[in-house]
Structure 1
Amino acid sequence: MRLLSVNVGSAVRLGNSVSGICKEAQSGSVRVMKLGLQNDAICDKKYHGGPDQAVYVYGGDDYDYWEQAHGLALEPGTFGDNLTIEGLSSLHVHVGDRLQIGDVELEATAPRIPCATLGKRMKDPKFPVAFRKSQRCGFYCRVLAEGELSADTAVIFTANEAPHRIAIVDMFELYYDPKPSRERMQQVLDAPIAIQARKQFQPKLDELNG
């Protein structure tokens, strides 16, 4: 795997809201810190950012999917991804998997859930539906080790070997499941998921447990 692009963005107005989704590739090195990338705008802090969602990663294989299946030749950062990684697919990542990129170490914590802002970014209000159906969601990471990053750096992928690990795409589908099983809910809560996701899923499990 290789780091194809490091992307940051400023706050821009999209319709009636302000968003940091519009990222651009950086030519030099960028500092990665516990709360995100240096000079990268995070506007909607209710759903984005924080130590467990500090970095959003999207796979080069996922971008290839959009071109091959939908004819969309998209630039790295189009979906608001901070890091675009060649040779990586969202379909093959599990919560707890780790990425070592130079001095920076990241741990996958949660899928990205599409919202209306993505539709505004793509100038297509129906695009979030296509994004959801694709399962090419990308994933958020917590920063285990800070450092500087630049494009064309090797990426070392270390899989989470926990026996009951949960795939990012399975966690993604759980957000849309109206009747999740107790076992699946417990599986996701046993994983090192983002605190935002934990706050959403724990009450559902409590309700199932009566």
Structure 2
Amino acid sequence: MDTASVLAVCRVHQLLDDPGSVGVTAIDKRPAEGPVKVHRLGLHGDIQASRVHHGGVDQALYAYSQDDADYWAAELGRDLPPGIFGENLRVAGISATGAVIGERWKVGLDVELEVTSPRTPCATFQRRMKEPHWVKRFGEAGRVGTYLRVVRTGSIAAGDHIHRVFVPTHGVTIGKWFSDPTAEDMEALRDADADGEIRLQPEYLREFEKLQRRLGV
């Protein structure tokens, strides 16, 4: 098995004008040189233009796997460099979408990150990619990547190894919850949260309610 590692650490290059409600977007992320400090709210020097939908302690970082980027490069017929998806971390040898909710990664010497929730594609992302029906295509493919909570701060850089230091027993992955959530998945996550094995962000309560209405349970 290949060693998991960080291929690039990306932060905002410049704010771009955007016709959305905020008027600008910070989705233009590009690789940084050398080590970058990681704070509770994300990378030093990075920002989120829309704090309503992005950022905060539960979405401090966004990771995307090279395997998924390669899939899209083949689908779209163009190069997709690190940062193009708005990700902070382009990773290899580990699946961001296949990570178990609540899983923890040690990155480099001192940073510890916790897998929290899938990325939901939005219109800003579609404008960034300049691909028709991108929101639908990205969602249907289910290769969404994951948001991360910063458990322990420090610095990270391209080339740092990633080690799984904790994987919850409930087994519900980011991709499963995004693409095909079931009542059993919901109960497994609830139990894991109640037992203190994981700490779900508040948004999951709303998602549980929506799922219950849809399933009629």
Q: Structure 2-normalised TM-score? A: 0.84
- 1:116–1:128 CA contact under 8 A, matched in 2: yes
- Give, in whole Å, the separation in 2 of the partners of 1:153 and 1:81: 16
Gaps of 5+ in 2: 193-197
Aligned to 2:139: 132
Structure 1 partner of 2:53: 47
- Which amino acid letter does the alignment assign opposite residue 188 of structure 1? L
What is the identity, as a one-letter code, of the residue corresponding to 1:126?
H
C-alpha displacement of 1:70: 3.2
C-alpha displacement at 1:94, in angstroms? 1.0
The aligned counterpart of 1:7 is 10
Distance 2:106 2:114 in 1: 9
AA of the residue aligned to 1:198: Y
- Please name the residue that 1:182 is paired with: 183
Alpha carbons 1:34, 1:143 under 8 Å: kept: yes
Q: 1:52 to 1:60 in 2, by over 3 A?
A: same
Structure 2 Cα separation of the partners of residues 159 and 63 of structure 1: 25
Matching of residues 88-107 of structure 1 within 5 Å: 88-102=94-108, 103-107=110-114
Q: Report the 3-state secondary structure (helix = DSSP H, G, I; strand = E; otherwise coil) of the residue aligned with 2:150.
A: strand
Computed over aligned residues only, the root mean square deviation of the Cα atoms, in angstroms, reads 2.2
Report the equivalent of 1:82.
88
2:63 and 2:148 in contact (8 A); partners too:
yes
Cα distance per residue 1:64-116 (max 9 Å; x no partner): 11123332310101011001111222342111111111211001010000010
Tell me the CA shift for residue 50 of structure 1: 0.9
Question: Runs of 5+ in structure 1 lacking a partner?
Answer: 175-179
Q: Provide the aligned length of Structure 1 versus Structure 2.
A: 204
Provide the rounded CA distance (Å) in 1 between the counterparts of 2:132 and 2:51: 22
Report which stretch shifted further, 83-92 or 57-66. 83-92
| Contact 1:11-1:41 within 8 A present in 2 as well | no
Alpha carbons of structure 1 residues 161 and 184: separation in structure 2 relative to 1, 3 Å: closer
Paired residue for 1:177?
Answer: none
